Chain A
Amino acid sequence: MPGLGARLGRGGATTFLQNLAESDCVVVMGSNMAENHPVGFRFVVEARERGGTVVHVDPRFTRTSALADLHLPIRAGSDLVLLGALISAVIERGLFNREYVLHYTNAAALVGDAFQDTDDLHGLFSGYREGERAYDTSSWALAGNRGSGHSQAIDAESYEQRAGETNVEEDPSLTHLRCVFQVLRRHFARYTPESVQRVCGIDPDQFERLLSAITANSTPERTTTFCYSVAWTQHTTGTQMIGACAILQLLLGNIGRPGGGIMALRGHATIQGSTDIPTLFNLLPGYLPMPAADRPHASLANYLADVTTETGWWHHAPAYMVSLLKAYYGERATPNNGFGYGWLPQIEGDYSFQQMTLMMDRGVIQGLFCMGQNPAVGGLNAKLARRGLSRLRWLVVRDAFEIESANFWKDGPEVAEGSLRPEEIPTEVFLLPAALTAEKDGSYTNTQRLIQWHDRAVPPPGEATSEAWFVHRLARLLRERYADDDSPRAAQLQALEWTYPTLPDGEPNLERVLLEINGVHLASGQPVTGFGELRDDGSTACGCWIYSGIMPATDRNRARERAASGRASLGWGYAWPADRRILYNRASARPDGTPWSERKAWIWWDIERGRWIGHDIPDFPSAKPPEYRPGAGATGVTAHRGDAPFLMLADGRAQLFVASALRDGPLPTHYEPWESPVANELYPDQLRNPVARELSDPGNPYQPLQDPRFPHVLTTYRLTEHHTAGGMSRFVPWLAELQPEGFAELDSVLADRVGIDNGGWIAISTPRGEIVTRALVTDRLQPLSIGGRTIHQVGLPWHFGFGGIATGAIANDLTSLVEDPNSLIHEGKAMTCSVRRASFSATRVAMDGTRDWNEGR
């Protein structure tokens, strides 16, 4: 998500699923949309039925490819080369939208003298500090910038970023050697169709077909949408892959326009919601950064000075932060105590999921609440994750079934093979029954930032309760427990404003929680109608500013509304921010405020009424005319011109070149996956992302560079029939029968080499371990010719585990802990492996020590 956030201002999808139907070309890349977002995919199908072109770029021919006009098989992990070549071709052949690029992006800005590109430094940008494996980003600053104090890369995930700088020198002719456009052009010059062939395995003919499909449908009359998902995110270069897509779409003038933009498809239900109101360690609600010990965040004033920008939307950060603190601490938050800022914990390191695995293993973390997650199967390097679980003192698992994370200590493969003995595992496991969606009230924030409320349909069975009930009760019990404690951590608990009313069955009233999220005027107790009403003086409280307006009156929950109308489906649910369905939709009009074309009109300037009107809520100050020019000293968005659509950013323009917000470079650069069978064709001296986060541990070995023992590419994926680590699907007979057993997909040439038939048993290994599973031999995978070598790709669904009805070897036993430096997301989509034939009997034991499918058959 920082991939979009750093360049566009917000990490969220720029468009909405229904609008895909208006696309003239949909490119699905880094996603298997039909299988993992089947409901949203209907709009891709609709686009195709309306005459649009659908392209799928993926290592495998999937159910998405089956419905596409064109499928390009690609080597997993090489996406950035293809995107770079598209960018280069668009620039070199003059296929970009000059008017859009000039006004809506920072293409004209000049890059400072100190900047040196990867071309000059053999794959590194200037400012690389070898010992720290990190960049000093000061040399990436734009020329003329007065220095905004953002010289250091900010924490990942706080990507609604304070990127973008003001008062920079510009060259509107886009010809200056140091202007962003020319820097970009030079940077991507080596990304050619030939390099695509050598690195990705896509031949130039196919490349040209893809290019012409995209460019022919990126004009004032036509638009192209890109859909991506975790197959871009889960790379050590994931952020930059997404960033490259953003650059391409900006050059083509597709962002902010109907049928255009980038549809970020989230990994599963309400994962968007869980970053908006985050379960992430480094964010507060509404993408405010978590106070950090290694940042100047000692007091509220320091913190606000750090996160507030002079220009751009983040000028309002104080109102959002103070309102959040008022929501947390109520009356106890006063101007005198910094609104209780001191009670907030501060982070002093990386507590990403991968790091937590190591911390459990090393005894740093001793207790774990596991809710809606199954790390014994879904954790990266799951063998290590299970060992980590086995070293905890206590573990609370709340789930609907006895998932692997709750029974690894008795049924896990380590117990079966004898390396773990139940009686020696100190972990006390509490398995608590959890209610499922239909058994509780609540909301989902879906992939298009749309919040939809749902009511309980049936009461949960037995003693099952909702997560809200559990957390509410836990908080009250903890406050009671620490009532007489005067330590700082007790103070944190006691300071919380925790007064949620409960329903007769003991469940907290979630609409009251929603009201707190929406925000209220504290004096009147009335809800705010939008984030514009939030103040930094303590007169308002708001749990998540971007959701403001969802409950404009105490009796109106807009997430509950189901009266869609018009092309934007307004009236169905509530989309943050402010119910805008296409973000940056000011860009759907030309700089002068008129639509790019009648066909693609979305938001335009109505001269008579003096405001922006159209099919959607304008993502722009509604009365700011196109010709508006800010005066000197203007702050916030008033400092933006009337033709600057990217209002979150300091200069209101999309960042083709990101001066400071990213850790691994201002421009996307291709590095091979952490484990790759080939050298880096484009930068021979720099194989891997130089600042990717390694998690060194004996239990997490990596493949030595191009180790011939692991010659094949391995990629993991999901199936329509199952849900993530299987907790909600493998235990359900109707879903289990659809994909009853784990398998790996491989091409017939590799199958012949290994000596197995379709359905036979194979062992797949990486430096982390080996799993034995069934082989699905298929023409849907084809060997690729990469730099004169034949590369085979092996596909491995990662749903399966030893519990439930549908069982199979755990794919994540093969994956490693290594992170993208910006998002701290692991690399699950490209690694290397070896494949050999396995014997059937060995499999039975390895796969499943507890049951035999042939029983009773």
Chain B
Amino acid sequence: MTRSFGHEHPGAMGFLTDATLCIGCKACEVACKQWNELPADGDAALSARSYDNTGDLGATTWRHVAFIERVATDEAPFAWLMLSDVCKHCVHAGCMEACPTGAIVRTEFDSIFIQPDICNGCGYCVPACPFGVPQLDQDDGRVHKCTLCYDRLRGGLQPACATACPTDSILFGPVTELRSIGRSRVESLKERGVQKASLYGDTSLGGTNGIGGLNAMFVLNDEPELFNLPAAPSLPQRTTGPAFLATLLSGACFALLGAAAFRATKRGED
């Protein structure tokens, strides 16, 4: 089931989530929780942050609808932006590369999956995700995130969220297909005057700096940061090699320094 990271998987499946079609109904959140039997985890009190009361992706929230009340400016009128956030199922996934147990694997659908029987809750994948997706469940002691409804895919169904979405804001399908849909969507949005339209999830936006693109992409109509998405994140493990090298080099220096210190003793004392 595991697959070494490489180029785009021919059978890769993913999402295209379109902010310009989202009506913020949260059916995806509920469908996800229902299918995956996840508990309600929102605060039982009003967040007073627009209509978002579940806050964030987490161990028990695998789809999260963000609500952004964009204030009016000289450039653009007031807008209420909505976007259903989800695991990006990166082509090169920080969480998977960080995972010391091999619990996080790449499936035959090219999705990133945390094997619940392997994960030991070390939590290292949590800060290693450039998008803030996986989270340690304090009650359960393991890390969880979107599985791309692996069980449903095996059974020939679409993920629950995509099935529930009433406006086709969430599309599920082969990544290559979704990518071309996304690109033409952005083109047509730009023709309609949405100058900031962008496809988040290719190697120039969102899937940047070693991430190699995202299997879960987003059509945005404003700056990614407004949707709480980093514009040009990096694959954290790009640092691993150089950092080890720097550490080894400095280690060698320290060893030489130490050797000098102790050798000096030898000479001086003898």
Contact = CB atoms under 8 A, between A and B. Distances in A.
Interface of A: 34-35, 38-39, 41-42, 45, 61, 63-67, 719-721, 733-743, 758-759, 774-780, 805-806, 853
B82 interface: yes
A759 B29 CA distance: 24
B163 to A, nearest CB: 13
Contacts of A736: 40, 44
B156 interface: no
A67 B29 CA distance: 20
Contacts of B158: none
Contacts of A734: 29-30, 33-34, 40
B57 interface: no
Nearest to A41: B23
B27 interface: yes
Of B46, B53, B81, most buried by chain A (CB within 10 Å of CB) is B46
A738 B26 contact: yes
Contact of B26 (A42, A65, A67, A720): A720
B157 to A, nearest CB: 16
Contact of A737 (B27, B54, B168): B54
Contact of B44 (A64, A743, A774, A805): A805
A65 B24 CA distance: 12
Contacts of A775: 48
Interface string B29-46: 110011000011111111
Interface of B: 21, 23-27, 29-30, 33-34, 39-48, 50-51, 53-54, 69, 71-72, 78-82, 166-168
Nearest to A760: B48
A737 B69 CA distance: 21
Given A738-B26, A743-B48, 8 more contacts: A41-B167, A734-B40, A736-B40, A740-B46, A741-B46, A778-B69, A779-B72, A853-B44
Contacts of A779: 69, 71-72, 78
Nearest to A45: B167
Contacts of B82: 63, 66
Contacts of A739: 46, 51, 53
B80 A63 contact: yes
A777 B69 CA distance: 11
Given A42-B166, A61-B78, A743 B69 contact: no
A502 B146 CA distance: 45
A751 to B, nearest CB: 11
Of A41, A738, A759, most buried by chain B (CB within 10 Å of CB) is A738
Contact of A42 (B42, B45, B80, B168): B168
A230 to B, nearest CB: 19
B207 to A, nearest CB: 26
Contacts of B47: 759
B26 A776 contact: no
Given A737-B41, A779-B69, A66 B23 contact: yes
Of B30, B39, B40, most buried by chain A (CB within 10 Å of CB) is B40
Contacts of A853: 44-45
Of B39, B42, B54, B168, most buried by chain A (CB within 10 Å of CB) is B42
Nearest to B77: A71
A349 B153 CA distance: 60
A66 B167 contact: no
Contact of B53 (A45, A65, A738, A780): A738
A719 B23 CA distance: 12
A38 B23 contact: yes
Nearest to A64: B23
A737 B40 contact: yes
7 cross-chain pairs, A with B, having the tightest CB-CB distances, nearest first: A759-B48, A737-B42, A733-B40, A66-B80, A741-B46, A737-B40, A38-B25
24 contacts: A34-B25, A42-B166, A42-B167, A63-B24, A63-B82, A64-B23, A67-B21, A733-B39, A734-B33, A734-B34, A735-B30, A736-B40, A737-B40, A738-B26, A738-B30, A740-B43, A740-B44, A740-B46, A743-B48, A758-B48, A779-B69, A779-B71, A780-B69, A780-B80
Contacts of A38: 23, 25, 27, 166-167
Given A41-B23, A737-B42, A739-B53, A66 B79 contact: yes
A743 B25 CA distance: 18
Nearest to A719: B51
A855 to B, nearest CB: 10
A66 B78 CA distance: 9
A423 to B, nearest CB: 31
Contacts of B72: 779
A778 B78 CA distance: 11
B48 A35 contact: no
A34 B42 contact: no
Contacts of B69: 778-780
Nearest to B20: A67
A740 B80 contact: no
Contacts of B43: 740
A176 to B, nearest CB: 47
Contacts of A774: 46, 48
A737 B43 CA distance: 7
A853 B81 CA distance: 30
Nearest to A855: B44
A340 B41 CA distance: 59
Contacts of B45: 740-741, 853
A569 B40 CA distance: 38
A803 B167 CA distance: 32
A653 to B, nearest CB: 38
A733 B24 CA distance: 19
A805 B40 CA distance: 11
Of A63, A66, A721, most buried by chain B (CB within 10 Å of CB) is A66
B80 A738 contact: no
Contacts of B48: 743, 758-759, 774-777
A34 B22 CA distance: 10
A684 to B, nearest CB: 35
Contacts of B81: 66
B88 to A, nearest CB: 23
A35 B25 contact: yes
A64 B40 CA distance: 26
Given A41-B166, A733-B39, A779-B69, A720 B25 contact: yes
B42 A66 contact: no
Of B21, B33, B44, B166, most buried by chain A (CB within 10 Å of CB) is B44
Contact of A65 (B29, B46, B51, B80): B80
A581 to B, nearest CB: 20
B18 to A, nearest CB: 10
Contacts of B42: 737-738, 740
A64 B167 CA distance: 12
A237 to B, nearest CB: 30
Contacts of B79: 66
Contacts of B51: 63, 719, 739
A666 to B, nearest CB: 39
A741 B54 CA distance: 13
B6 to A, nearest CB: 36
A780 B78 CA distance: 8
A39 B166 contact: yes
Given A45-B21, A66-B82, A737 B53 contact: yes
A735 B30 CA distance: 7
Contacts of A777: 48
B34 to A, nearest CB: 7
Contact of A67 (B23, B39, B46): B23
A701 B24 CA distance: 38
A63 B81 CA distance: 9
A42 B27 CA distance: 13
A721 B23 CA distance: 12
Of A34, A720, A736, A737, most buried by chain B (CB within 10 Å of CB) is A737
A38 B22 CA distance: 10
Contacts of A758: 48
A849 to B, nearest CB: 16
Given A41-B166, A780-B80, A759 B71 contact: no
A63 B23 CA distance: 6
